[in-house]
Amino acid sequence: MKQCKKCRINVKTDEEICPICQNKLVGKSENVFPYIPTIKKKYSLFFKILLLVSIVASLICVAIDYMLNKYHFSVLVIFGFICLFIILKTTLTKRDSIFKTILWELVIFAILTISWDYFTGWHSWSLTYAIPILCMVGSVSMAILSIILHDYLDEELFYFICIALVGIIPLIFIFTNIITNKLPSLICSFLNIFCFFGLLIFKFKEVKEELKRRMHI
């Protein structure tokens, strides 16, 4: 707190001049507003650990890829981590509609990967690997954000359900045999089925009310 020697008063301010006599204040300034850490600062350790795990996992996949000299799944793993960080960064900076943002990001990424696959000769890698990985990234992002931003969860249940249902779409790829490797789609589908039923079990009342509100029942 600063002091004015002439007025003999203490002033909570960042200004250098006394508001009464206009003489110079002495002492240290004191911020009258409490310090509120941002989401980035509050969870900085979490994101640093997540970044470290992502780098280590990517390097392990690159090493395995190099030793096998046959598969190139490391590129897809790195792509998945990049998507994860993009989704987390975007949703944490734009918190007006968190899961809606994730849903739109997944749709945009999916369209881009399918278009890329189509214009490079269609090797079906977009359906075999990219789409399931994107859906899994969406589910993981959704789970992380629902823990970090749990106060906003009830407002976003509709998009939470939509993301879980979108993640089950790879089951269609399995049953129609349009993919070369069924494992990514299988893992993705089971992960999202787990999320969907977990949501129904733990948030059944909220889900019911949200569906009534959305469908005007």
Considering the domain architecture, whether residues 191 and 113 belong to the same structural domain is answered as: yes
Q: What is the pLDDT of residues 20-52, one digit of tens each?
A: 777 777 776 555 555 555 556 666 787 888 889
Buried b (16+ CB within 10 A) or exposed e, 135-162: bbbbbbbbebbbebbeeebeebbbbbbb
Considering the domain architecture, whether residues 30 and 86 belong to the same structural domain is answered as: no
Considering the domain architecture, whether residues 210 and 112 belong to the same structural domain is answered as: yes
Residue 16 belongs to a domain: yes
Q: Taking the model in full, what pTM does it have?
A: 0.57
Q: What is the pLDDT of residues 176-216, one digit of tens each?
A: 988 888 999 999 999 889 888 888 888 788 778 877 777 76
Residue 108 belongs to a domain: yes
| Domain around 30 | 1-35
Considering the domain architecture, whether residues 206 and 128 belong to the same structural domain is answered as: yes
Greatest mean pLDDT among 43-47, 120-124, 157-161: 120-124
Considering the domain architecture, whether residues 97 and 15 belong to the same structural domain is answered as: no
